[in-house]
Amino acid sequence: MQPLDDLTIVDLTQSIAGPVCTQLLGEMGATVIKVEPPSGDNFRNLMGGSMFTPFNHGKQSVCVNMKTDEGHAIVTELVDEADIVVESFRPGVLEKYDLDYQSVRERNEDIIYCSLSGFGRTGPYSSYPGYDPCVQALSGLMAITGYLDRPPVRIRASLIDCGTGANAAYAILAAVRQRDRGGSGTEIDISLFDVAIAWMSYWISRYDRTGELPERAGGQGIGSAPNGVFPTGDGHIYLATLSEAMYERLCRFLGREDLLEDERFETIDDRLEHRDLIKDEFTAEFESYDAIELEKGLMDAGVPTGAVRTVSDIVDSDPHVADRSMLVDSYNPEADEEVVTPALPFRFSSAIHDGTFSTQPPKKGEHTAEILEALSYSESEIVNLFDQDVVFAEGH
C-alpha cells in the first residue's frame, strides 16, 4: 500500500515544473496518465532526452491529437473520471475544449484541478509564456546573481521549475486532505513567477525596511565575513563564518589566533567593513590546501565549508552521494539507453518509498492502447484511431 494509490491523476503538463509535480505524486502511488500531443512532450528531445528523463518516472503515456473530435472525447473522458487534473496550458486554451476548471467541475464536481503556468491565471502577465530563466529575470533573481561589473546571469539549473512543481504537489496534497475530510474539490492556481517572488523573500523584506537594493556580489556571501568563494591549491571552496564561534574555530584551525586579537576583525561588523583585507589573509592560508582536504578539516572543526565540485565529482566519486543512494538507475526513452538520475530527495523509515523509481519514464504514447482499452474502446476502434492519426505511439 502507498499513500496515494487510490488516486488517478490526468497530467496535461509539459516541460519541467508540471512533470516534477506529477512524478512526486506518482511515486507516492497515484496512477498518473500523462497526456501528450502528437509530437510528444516538448522537452522530450532537449539535451538528448536528459531534460525529460529525471522528471517522468511512474507515469503512463497516452498520445492524443486533442484537436480532433475523437481525441477530444478521449481526453474529456479521462478528465471526467480523474481525481486530480494538473495542466500547464496558457490561460484560455482549455476553455476552447471545455476542459477548464469550471467546465470540468460541472461534470466532475469533486475534481482537484491544478493550473500551473508561467504567471498565473490572472494579472497583466497571465497570457505570457513563462520559462525558468525568463522568470529568473522578471522576479529580480537574475539582477542579484553574478558580478557587479558584469551583466546579470541565470542560475544554470531549473530551480524555479523544480520548486514550482514541488509546491504544486504540496498544494494538491492539502486539497486532497481537505476533500477527504468532507470538503469539496478545488482549483489551485500556481505559477513560476509566484514561486520565484516567494523565494526572493528576505531581499524583498530588506528592501521594504531599508529602501536599499541588493547588488550582484559574485561569490561573496551575505551578512558576514569571511563568507564566500576562496581559491585553494587545486580548486575552490565556499566558506561561511556566520557567527563569532565559527570565526574563532576557523582561526584556530589555521593556527591564526593572531587574527582573533586584531581589532580590525573583532566583530562581524568589523570584518564586513574590512572584508577585502580579511579575504586576503585567508586566501593566502587556503592556497596550501587541496579543496577536499580543506573542506574536511574545516567541517570537522565546525566551520561550514563546501569544496566546489563538478557533476563528474558527484556522479563518479562522492562518497556521501554513494552512501545515501542519491543516484539511481533509470532509462532515457529518447536515447534508448540506461542512465543514472537523481533519486527522490527524501527517505522514509517505513515502506512508503524505497528511493528507487517505480517505473522508467515512458516512451511517447507507450500506454496509449492500454489506456484506451481501460476506457472500453474495442480493438478495432483502437486500430481505427491509430490509422486516423487520432492517437499515437512510438514505433506504431
Average pLDDT, integer, range 238-267: 96
Average pLDDT, integer, range 261-269: 95
Confidence of residue 1 (pLDDT cuts 50, 70, 90): confident
Confidence of residue 257 (pLDDT cuts 50, 70, 90): very high
| pLDDT number for residue 317 | 96
The CATH number for 22's domain is: 3.40.50.10540
Residue 150 CB: number of other CB atoms within 10 A? 9
C-alpha–C-alpha distance, residues 303 and 239, integer Å: 8
From residue 62, give the alpha-carbon distance in Å to each of 26, 39, 326, 371, 374: 16, 12, 30, 7, 12
378 occurs within a structural domain: yes
Average pLDDT, integer, range 175-187: 96
Query: Is pLDDT at 284 greater than 90 in this prediction?
Result: yes
Number of domains within the chain? 1
25 occurs within a structural domain: yes
171 occurs within a structural domain: yes
pLDDT digit string, tens, across residues 24-35: 999 999 999 999
Contact 242, 224 (CB under 8 A): yes
Catalytic residue among 149, 161, 234, 323: 161
C-alpha–C-alpha distance, residues 90 and 13, integer Å: 11
Give yes or no for a cis peptide into 3 (omega within 30° of 0). no
Instruction: Please indicate whether residue 161 is annotated as part of the active site.
Output: yes
Q: Which domain holds residue 54?
A: 8-199+350-392
Residue 269 CB-density burial (10 A; 0-12 exposed, 13-18 middle, 19+ buried): exposed
C-alpha–C-alpha distance, residues 236 and 310, integer Å: 11
Percent of the chain with pLDDT over 70: 100
387 occurs within a structural domain: yes
The residue type found at 148 is: L
Residue 92 CB-density burial (10 A; 0-12 exposed, 13-18 middle, 19+ buried): exposed
316 occurs within a structural domain: no
366 occurs within a structural domain: yes
| pLDDT number for residue 396 | 81
Question: What's the pTM?
Answer: 0.95
220 occurs within a structural domain: no
185 occurs within a structural domain: yes
